[in-house]
Amino acid sequence: MPIPAVDTRALTRRFGSLTAVDSLTLSVESGEIFGLLGPNGAGKTTAIKMLVTLLPPTSGNATVAGSDIVRQQVAVRHAIGYVPQMLSADGTLTGYENLLIFAKLYDVPRSERVGRVRDALGFMGLDGAADRLVRGYSGGMIRRLEIAEAMLHHPRVLFLDEPTIGLDPVARQAVWEHISRFRADWETTVILTTHYMEEADALCDRVAIMHLGRVVASGSPAALKGSIGKENATLNEVFAHYTGDILESGGTYRDTRRTRRTARRVG
């Protein structure tokens, strides 16, 4: 049996009295695009941070690409790519420099470095902007640069935390296409979080819906929609069905700006 890309057992993280992630148990197969879905505060970022070794779990355990996230952190770090929720490319460097530095940090062999950086820039449609300071990039370009950065070392598992937060619909569409193509070309497992239902619907093979730190439902988008016994249900309705809550999604320009600011603050 192939080793799952991600396997968690009762993974839990508390902050004081708050349980941000409550006994998360899930298994993601190699090559899947898996979505963690839920509103702000559901615990998605906390779960991702534990899986990428940034945050020690309070209890439970997990493996990523077969390595334990607490005891084999270096092996996990070699196997993963990670794009944090915040737009985090270094604005005072060019796109090319951002990638070059990470190629070095990820031990990409010297002879392949420049080639991989150029390929990644090309793949993400950023050749033209490579030598400009990232400060002048649009949000969508920064996101694509960050995804390029996270795939330089051909990771087996790629973690994307809210990859399209704060992007306009066109930029969001472009990021979706790149993620799909990336998975197809590299057979990388992709784990992403989102609070946009359309995003999960468009991209993910399977999703787990999180609410207040717990998974309330999981399965393929189609199966979840089928499970609530309503024809042509949207994932929004699925969410409402399982949580009794309304999930705001989409939203006005003002909302997006606000999410983007919160995104910068929290993460």
Partner 1 sequence: MTQEERVAQHAGSVSLLRRGWRLPFAAAGQFVLKALVIAELEARKLRHDPSELLTRAVQPALWLLVFGQVFTHIRAIPTGDLPYLDFMAPGILAQSVLFIAIFYGITIIWERDLGIVHKFLVTPTPRAAIVTGKALSAGVRGLSQAVIVYALAAGLGVKIEWNPLALLGVIAIVILGAALFSTFSLIVACLVKTRERFMGIGQVMTMPLFFASNAIYPIAIMPGWLRVIARGNPLTYEVDALRALMLSGGSSTYGLGLDFAVLVVATALLILIAGHLYSKVAI
Ligand X SMILES: Nc1ncnc2c1ncn2[C@@H]1O[C@H](COP(=O)(O)OP(=O)(O)O)[C@@H](O)[C@H]1O
| Residues in touch with ligand X (CB under 6 A) | 15, 18, 20, 38, 40-46, 266
Residue 104 binds which entry of partner 1, ligand X, Mg ion, none, with Cβ cut-offs from 5 to 8 Å by kind?
partner 1
Q: Does 260 bind partner 1 (CB under 8 A)?
A: no
The residues that bridge with 41 in the sheet, in sequence order, are: none
On whether the CB atoms of residues 187 and 155 are closer than 8 A, the answer is no
Residue 66 CA to residue 173 CA, distance in Å, equals 32
Task: Please write down the long-range contacts of 230-237, taking CB distance under 8 Å and 24 or more positions apart.
Answer: 234/197, 234/201, 235/37, 235/197, 235/198, 235/200, 235/201, 235/207, 236/197
- Residue 202 near which of partner 1, ligand X, Mg ion, none (CB within 5-8 Å, type-dependent): none
Residue holding tokens 């470095």?
113
Instruction: Choose which of 14, 25, 41, 86 interacts with partner 1 (CB under 8 A).
Output: 86
Taking the C-alpha atoms of 122, 128, 134 and 139 in order, what is their torsion angle to the nearest 10 degrees?
-70
Smallest separation, CB 57 to partner 1 (Å)? 12
Selection from partner 1, ligand X, Mg ion, none that 102 binds (CB < 5 to 8 A by kind) is partner 1
| In the complex, least distance from residue 70 CB atom to ligand X, rounded to whole angstroms | 18
Does residue 52 belong to the site contacting partner 1 (CB under 8 A)? yes
Q: Is 90 in the site for partner 1 (CB under 8 A)?
A: yes
- Closer CB to ligand X, 94 or 194, in the complex: 194
Nearer to partner 1, 137 or 239 (CB): 137
The length of the chain is: 267
Closer CB to partner 1, residue 2 or residue 109?
109
Looking at the Cβ atoms of 6 and 235, the one nearer to partner 1 is 6
243 binds partner 1 (CB under 8 A): no
Dihedral (C-alpha) 5, 167, 19, 201: value to the nearest 10 degrees? -50
Query: Shortest gap between Cβ of 253 and ligand X (angstroms)?
Result: 20
The closest of 52, 80, 33, 38 to 177, measured between CA atoms, is 33
Q: Where are the alpha helices (DSSP H) in the chain?
A: 44-51, 73-79, 95-105, 110-123, 139-151, 169-186, 197-203, 221-227, 235-243, 253-265
Q: Can you tell me which of 38, 43, 57, 84 binds partner 1, judged by CB under 8 A?
A: 84
How many residues at the interface with partner 1, by CB under 8 A? 31
Burial-class residue 27 by CB neighbours within 10 Å (0-12, 13-18, 19+): middle
Phi, psi of 39 (to 5 degrees): -75, 170
Q: Which two tokens stand for residue 70?
A: 């607490």
Residue ranges in 58-77 that form contacts with partner 1 under rule CB under 8 A: 74, 77
CB of 20 to ligand X, least distance (A): 3
Site for partner 1 in 98-157 (CB under 8 A): 101-102, 104-107, 133, 149
The residues that touch partner 1, with contacts defined as CB under 8 A, are: 49, 52-55, 74, 77-78, 80, 82, 84-88, 90, 92-94, 97, 101-102, 104-107, 133, 149, 264-265, 267
